[in-house]
């Protein structure tokens, strides 16, 4: 028979195993303590394998698959299906010159990637549409949405499309391609990394300069600050309360909630991107910038050059240009913009609110192109002074208006929120609101100040961190983690874009 000591050891073993197995209520994210410890152990082994290329690549792939398992459980097999199928499809495409055969192969890649994406993400959405048209009752299927499926399918699809266009030569080593698709810093929430940018880095000798290391540490700290301090705090303590029951709050409270969500989603997503880019730098890899102070934009076109750059350029290169871009007349260009953003909205989620969000942005892009045409302004030309200030003000509020539909799951809640803003504002409640939520508004003010600050501020801060000795970097990181622990909520706050 077991004694008490055996029972305790069994409980300890069960608890230990539960930490390292998949928990749907606690997916592993960059800002979690478990990831920090695992990454420290991973880095130690990674450095030991610095001169053993194949072993190092295999180790990173295995860790990346474990990272994805901790995020989505056994659905890591989808990652393997996409990887193996697209690797061989690209190889087969390379071996044939017949145009129709190459088209068949790229169509097969599209069917596999978009088929998986459609099944896991859009089945119930299409069932609802069909049921509504048929006049019957809708039946929802219990289909789990794997984390990051939109990201890694788009990333792998860009590879086969580039091979089809003969812009890159396909890889001959499956391990290299598995490394590219599964590389854990950008696996579950981007940025969407292009094969032409990343693949040439895979077999280079491992080298991390002092500048790369310092910049990587700075980006990780910046991302952690945005996500775990600003985004999570204003979300839990203010934004969620407003969006959950907008009719219970006055218009001024709803407006502040909308501003808060605009800051929350930016800090959440750009914070993840910062950490992903920073972690990649520590491992010797370069990612392109994914956010560039988007709320400084003076037009909706400029906004999409600054917001989620990896997705906006993907949609431009593989969808907008494929539809004809601006090569078939102005009317066709406007239609192409609206179709592209409609599909971009649908990419974010299987819901009419995302579709409306995408269409609103598409119409705004088309309207801006039309306005540039009648005013004779050139592409990329920027306004200055009061014109730029007004442009930034209008663009920011249009983006915030669209965020209302993006954030709410149904139109009724969105209409209720907007109705409160426009018909029940009560500006006299603003001082009371500030006093009651002074900490939230202090973090919001800090977030917006840092966002609108001159770029040289960030450049100066990055250089200052880079020049610090290792002990100085460690002390800064420890202080930031301590601050995170002091203000974080009890429940883990997953990144918003995990659901996409």
Active-site residue list: 348
DSSP 496: G
Which pair of tokens denotes residue 469?
């000795």
Query: How many Cβ atoms from other residues are within 10 Å of residue 300's Cβ?
Result: 25
CA–centroid distance for 163 within its chain? 25
Beta-carbon contacts of residue 27 (< 8 Å; ≥ 6 apart): 70, 71, 72, 147, 492, 494, 498
Q: What angle do CA 428, 432, 438 make, to 5 degrees?
A: 135
Question: Following DSSP, what letter does each residue of 368-388 receive, concatenated?
Answer: HHHHHHHHTPPTT----HHHH
Which pair of tokens denotes residue 235?
């979300």
CA 186 – CA 68 distance, rounded (Å): 11
CA 274 – CA 476 distance, rounded (Å): 17
3-state secondary structure (DSSP) of residue 493: coil
Closest CA to 224 of 289, 273, 284: 273
Prior bond of 493 cis (ω within 30°): no
How far is residue 257 from each of residues 229, 320, 354, 407, 498, measured CA to CA in Å? Answer: 17, 34, 19, 11, 22
Q: Yes or no: say if 234 and 380 are a contact pair by the CB < 8 Å rule.
A: no
């Amino acid at each position: 028979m077991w004694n008490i000591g055996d029972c305790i050891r069994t409980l300890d073993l069960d608890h230990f195993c539960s930490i390292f197995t998949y928990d749907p209520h606690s997916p592993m994210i960059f800002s979690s303590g478990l990831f920090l410890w695992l990454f420290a152990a991973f880095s130690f082994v990674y450095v030991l394998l610095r001169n053993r290329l194949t072993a190092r690549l295999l180790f990173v792939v295995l860790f990346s698959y474990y990272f994805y398992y901790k995020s989505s459980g056994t659905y890591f097999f989808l990652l393997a299906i996409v990887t193996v199928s697209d690797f061989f499809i690209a190889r087969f495409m390379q071996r044939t010159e017949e145009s129709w055969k190459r088209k068949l192969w790229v169509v097969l890649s599209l069917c596999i990637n978009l088929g998986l994406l459609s099944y896991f993400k859009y089945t119930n959405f299409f069932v609802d549409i069909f049921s509504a048209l048929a006049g019957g009752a809708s039946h929802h299927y219990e289909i789990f949405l794997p984390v990051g499926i939109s990201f890694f399918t788009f990333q792998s699809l860009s590879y086969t499309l580039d091979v089809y266009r003969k812009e890159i030569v396909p890889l001959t080593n499956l391990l290299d391609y598995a490394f590219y698709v599964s590389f854990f810093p950008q696996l579950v929430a981007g940025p969407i990394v292009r094969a032409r940018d990343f693949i040439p880095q895979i077999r280079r000798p491992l080298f991390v300069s002092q500048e790369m290391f310092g910049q990587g540490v700075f980006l990780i700290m910046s991302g952690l600050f945005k996500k775990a301090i600003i985004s999570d705090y204003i979300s839990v303590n203010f934004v969620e309360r407003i969006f959950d029951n907008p009719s219970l709050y006055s218009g001024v409270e709803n407006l502040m909630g909308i501003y808060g969500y605009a800051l929350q989603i930016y800090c959440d997503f750009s914070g993840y991107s910062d950490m992903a880019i920073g972690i990649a730098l520590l491992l010797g890899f370069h990612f392109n910038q994914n956010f560039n102070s988007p709320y400084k934009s003076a037009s909706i076109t400029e906004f999409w050059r600054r917001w989620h750059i990896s997705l906006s350029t993907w949609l431009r290169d593989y969808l907008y240009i494929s539809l004809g871009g601006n090569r078939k007349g102005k009317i066709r260009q406007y239609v192409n913009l609206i179709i592209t953003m409609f599909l971009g909205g649908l990419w974010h989620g299987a819901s009419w609110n995302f579709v409306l969000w995408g269409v609103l942005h598409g119409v705004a892009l088309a309207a801006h192109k039309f306005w540039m045409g009648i005013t004779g302004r050139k592409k990329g030309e920027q306004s200055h002074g009061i014109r730029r200030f007004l442009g930034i003000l209008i663009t920011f509020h249009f983006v915030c208006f669209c965020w209302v539909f993006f954030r709410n799951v149904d139109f009724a809640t969105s209409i209720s929120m907007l109705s409160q803003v426009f018909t029940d504002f009560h500006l006299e409640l603003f001082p009371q609101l500030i006093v009651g939520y002074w900490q939230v508004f202090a973090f919001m003010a800090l977030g917006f100040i840092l966002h609108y600050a001159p770029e040289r501020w960030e450049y100066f801060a990055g250089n200052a961190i880079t020049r610090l000795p290792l002990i100085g970097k460690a002390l800064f990181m420890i202080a930031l983690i301590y601050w995170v622990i002091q203000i974080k909520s009890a429940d883990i706050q997953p990144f918003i874009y995990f659901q996409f």
